[in-house]
Structures are given as structure tokens and as C-alpha cells.
């Protein structure tokens, strides 16, 4: 048996799905929620700060902030093959936060991107088998995509 915990951050991020059959092909944005799900064993070393925890929630928040939030918050995520989307962002110049990615920025692909970005940073000094097991990307209140191992 293992224990799991979750912690999330939110971003305000723009994107478009260039080949979408409906309105998602237009430039728009979302209040994304990226939620990391971590599993492992509870730290049972007496006297350490993380005793009774898998990992300190504030440490997870810091990692999510550095590696996800600070990269795409108030940015426009555009697929490298989206020539029109890239051209629109280029018109706004270097001061515009544009993040070019090698995938169409759907919630499903953003969940995988966030997982791959965060997973190498989930570590423990206590041998409690910590690992990121899933990343949940909520695009709207009714829409959630998950990438899991």
C-alpha cells in the first residue's frame, strides 16, 4: 500500500487548436489547473521536518510554480507547426510571452508536458519511494485531462 497526495497551481494561459472543427481553433485562454499526484511511503524518520508526510506541500508548490506556472502563466502556448498562430504572436514582438511547443496545446498534451516537466524534480532524501504518478490538467470547470504512468 502507498499513500498519495495532490497539490495544484493555476495559470491564466492562452492557446488555440489550429485544426479544431469548432471554436477552439480561435485564439482564446483558460484558467488552467495543473494538479500533481504523488505516491510513496510516509516518512517515518523521527524529528525530521517531513515526518508523517510524503513530501511537504510547500515544496510541491514551489516546484509547480517554478517549472509550470512561471513558464506558461499569462503566456500564449502555440504549436510549432501553427504558422498562423506563431505569426500572430510574432506581431506582438519580443515583449509578448509566447511559448512554442512541439505539440498541439490541448489539455491532454499539456497534462503530459507538465508531467514530463515536473517528474524529474520529485525527489526525496528519505528513501520513501516518491514518484509523480499523474498530472491532471483542468481546462474548464467541466473538462479535465490526466496523464499518468
User: What mean pLDDT comes out for the span 59-83?
Assistant: 98
pLDDT score, position 127: 86
Q: Residue 78, Cβ neighbours under 10 Å: how many?
A: 26
The region, left, alpha or beta by phi > 0 then psi within -120 to 50, assigned to residue 9 is beta
Are 5 and 57 in contact by the 8 Å Cβ rule? The answer is: yes
Quote the mean pLDDT of the chain.
96
Q: Using DSSP bridges, classify how beta strands 75-79 and 3-15 pair: parallel, antiparallel or unpaired.
A: parallel
Q: Is the pLDDT of residue 65 over 80?
A: yes
Mean pLDDT computed over 16-31: 95
CATH architecture of 3-14+30-148: 2-Layer Sandwich (3.30)
* Domain layout of the chain by residue ranges: 3-14+30-148
Predicted confidence (pLDDT) per residue in 73-99, tens digit = 999 999 999 999 999 999 999 899 999
Enter the pTM of the model.
Answer: 0.95
All cell numbers assigned to 137: 490538467
Residue 2 confidence (pLDDT): 83
* Beta strands at 28-40 and 3-15: parallel, antiparallel or unpaired: antiparallel
Amino acid at each position: 500500500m502507498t499513500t498519495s497526495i495532490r497539490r495544484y497551481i493555476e495559470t491564466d494561459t492562452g492557446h488555440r487548436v489550429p485544426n479544431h472543427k469548432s471554436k477552439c481553433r480561435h485564439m482564446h485562454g483558460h484558467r488552467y489547473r495543473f494538479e500533481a499526484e504523488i505516491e510513496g511511503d510516509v516518512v517515518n524518520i523521527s524529528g525530521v521536518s517531513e515526518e508523517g508526510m510524503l513530501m511537504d506541500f510547500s515544496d510541491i508548490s514551489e516546484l509547480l510554480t517554478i517549472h509550470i506556472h512561471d513558464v506558461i502563466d499569462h503566456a500564449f502556448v502555440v504549436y510549432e507547426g501553427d504558422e498562423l498562430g506563431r505569426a500572430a504572436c510574432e506581431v506582438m514582438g519580443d515583449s509578448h510571452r509566447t511559448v512554442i511547443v512541439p505539440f498541439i496545446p490541448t489539455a491532454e498534451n499539456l497534462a503530459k508536458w507538465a508531467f514530463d516537466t515536473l517528474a524529474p524534480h520529485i525527489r526525496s532524501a528519505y528513501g520513501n519511494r516518491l514518484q509523480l504518478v499523474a498530472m491532471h490538467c483542468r481546462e474548464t470547470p467541466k473538462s479535465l485531462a490526466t496523464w499518468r504512468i
